[in-house]
Structure 1
């Protein structure tokens, strides 16, 4: 519970990893350089978003596999993998492999719901089973059981010169305890708590029971999750607001950041789209100003770790400035100390 007298325990950041569709390598390289910088600055964790059929990271597990070879300490997370696009068995194999490569640093974040624009992609994604696919919480349960090492096959043993296992290989002990659920509703918070997962709450929640108070709704999700989790108040929750410190920014950068936040502000006033989504405002200002605002944020006061989201459309140099200020200015303002 960060307050002026109680410190933020873990500081992380989240990036979308945009790239040019005609020349995608530089964008991916920029993302890897950002992750490396995060480790150098002492961040506890670095997270990548997941975007299908867009110009953002479509395969965060592959990107993080590369990052395991360019970092040695920082935790690496996905926020979040939409399981509607995934086969839980194959994903479990990929996650375990990357966790082994990282030395146990992977933090997979997942969520469920039908894939976006499902009617448009179903023919390519599930041409034969589209009407039978389950896009509910059972898909998460399947993934968790496979990551834990529960049976995936009724056969094991030697066949000819090949040896077969009845569980996912490689098996990475401890990985299951680092799986997160990205939720935006009370229902998801309760389910994730009952499943014993960790909980990611972001700058988006669902308007519930007629309320449009973002902080109040997010706080209710955090509390509902912990009330239903075996670890109670000690259950891990990470908050992912968009936070842009300007301490070392140029005048041009500050103007760009303020314009970015101003253009996004109208969407915070009322629920958006058929899902009734509520968006948090973006936090732009000096670290002292942002720290003061966060200490007044009802949900922020209930957590002790964050993964602040980087804006989508900025340049690499902007991310360097923002990350540097987060680690050297805002983090210390919140009582956080960089990892050695």
Structure 2
């Protein structure tokens, strides 16, 4: 395992026990947690993006702020719902955030997950053309966004202003950003599609399909099929693959009160009209977690692991959690802190 980052869902709500009672709380604490994670030696700070919910939404102001306050840690998303995005405006925002961070942006994007709003992307002004689904629209948005950050001309120049007729790229441009785009794939087939498109693979704690095997084995098959499709496509660079896991070490009575005593099992549920398999949470004593995580075949196959954090418990709690994982659990999967 080369890289380990944290993944925050960015929840905030004024309920008993919550340390993130407002949107301002969760934004400022997200910055502070990224700084603390970098000091521990964690490699990445990633944030979920949701709309019409008490969660982090517009990612680029936050990513730029994290980039300005840190110097080494990767900063990214997991994931941006491309149904909601204006691709060219997003390209400008992403380039600016990447330049502020010194080229540390790692953007996870996807066709999106179920949201609280019914066709909420239409309220953002994005209506799929006739004959196109919302997933098709998300992929079209992603294609235009990726072309824009790669420097493609996307608008005709005005000869009265430029003295010539050319196609203009968006500005600013951020060199290398086009190789740091990840597709959040929920199935084996979409993983293969991401490989053919030349994007890195971001795989979560659930897959929207089931074959009856344990979650880590199904995810391993997704990763292997992705890598085979990448090789077949003939891309020159090496791809990156991340998986997400919930890993909670029980260090004291407070941890046990919050999270119980032991890991659960995989869960089956319904999502997007079909059966989905949800990976289990790893909860237990640090030595037991180290042994269990080392046996996770998908974790072994990926180069990056994103650890979900209970962000509503505050910066101090999550700093302690990440430090315990760094010292007692993550070495079992071959990870070493960055110094």
If the TM-score is normalised by the length of the shorter chain, which range does it land in?
0.7 to 0.9
User: What is residue 195 of structure 1 aligned with on the other side?
Assistant: 197
User: What is residue 327 of structure 1 aligned with on the other side?
Assistant: 326
User: What is residue 256 of structure 2 aligned with on the other side?
Assistant: 254
Q: Tell me by how many angstroms 1:149 deviates.
A: 0.7
Match 2:183 to one of 181, 186, 194: 181
Matched, 1:70 2:69: yes
User: What is residue 110 of structure 2 aligned with on the other side?
Assistant: 111
Q: Tell me by how many angstroms 1:160 deviates.
A: 8.3
Match 2:270 to one of 246, 263, 272: 272
Match 2:245 to one of 233, 241, 244: 241
User: What is residue 58 of structure 2 aligned with on the other side?
Assistant: 59
Equivalent residues of 1:179, 1:198 under 8 A apart: yes
Single out whichever of 227-236 and 78-87 deviates more from structure 2: 227-236
User: What is residue 215 of structure 2 aligned with on the other side?
Assistant: 214
Q: Tell me by how many angstroms 1:126 deviates.
A: 2.5
Gaps of at least 5 residues in structure 2 are 15-20
* Matched length: 323
Q: Tell me by how many angstroms 1:72 deviates.
A: 1.1
Equivalent residues of 1:16, 1:56 under 8 A apart: yes
Deviation per residue, 1:160-181 (Å, 9 max, x gap): 89xx981011111100111111
Shift in CA distance, 52/122, structure 1 to aligned 2, threshold 3 Å: closer
Equivalent residues of 1:112, 1:139 under 8 A apart: no
Shift in CA distance, 148/234, structure 1 to aligned 2, threshold 3 Å: closer
Equivalent residues of 1:106, 1:175 under 8 A apart: yes
Equivalent residues of 1:207, 1:217 under 8 A apart: no
Q: Tell me by how many angstroms 1:271 deviates.
A: 3.2
Equivalent residues of 2:88, 2:148 under 8 A apart: yes
Q: Tell me by how many angstroms 1:99 deviates.
A: 0.3
Measured in 2, the distance between the counterparts of 1:125 and 1:108 equals: 21
Measured in 1, the distance between the counterparts of 2:322 and 2:110 equals: 27
Measured in 2, the distance between the counterparts of 1:11 and 1:74 equals: 10
The 3-state SS of whatever aligns with 1:323 is helix
Q: Tell me by how many angstroms 1:330 deviates.
A: 1.9
Equivalent residues of 2:194, 2:226 under 8 A apart: yes
User: What is residue 10 of structure 1 aligned with on the other side?
Assistant: 3
Measured in 2, the distance between the counterparts of 1:123 and 1:88 equals: 15
The 3-state SS of whatever aligns with 2:77 is strand
The 3-state SS of whatever aligns with 1:271 is strand
The 3-state SS of whatever aligns with 1:135 is helix
Shift in CA distance, 176/185, structure 1 to aligned 2, threshold 3 Å: same
Deviation per residue, 1:196-242 (Å, 9 max, x gap): 1111111111224x435312211111011101113599421011111
Deviation per residue, 1:61-118 (Å, 9 max, x gap): 2111111111111110100000001011111111011001110000011001487356
Deviation per residue, 1:138-175 (Å, 9 max, x gap): 322221111111111121677289xx981011111100
Measured in 1, the distance between the counterparts of 2:57 and 2:29 equals: 15
The 3-state SS of whatever aligns with 2:313 is coil
Measured in 1, the distance between the counterparts of 2:26 and 2:196 equals: 39
Measured in 1, the distance between the counterparts of 2:174 and 2:119 equals: 36
Equivalent residues of 1:242, 1:311 under 8 A apart: no
User: What is residue 4 of structure 1 aligned with on the other side?
Assistant: none
Task: Give the TM-score, by structure 1 length.
Answer: 0.86
Equivalent residues of 1:212, 1:270 under 8 A apart: no
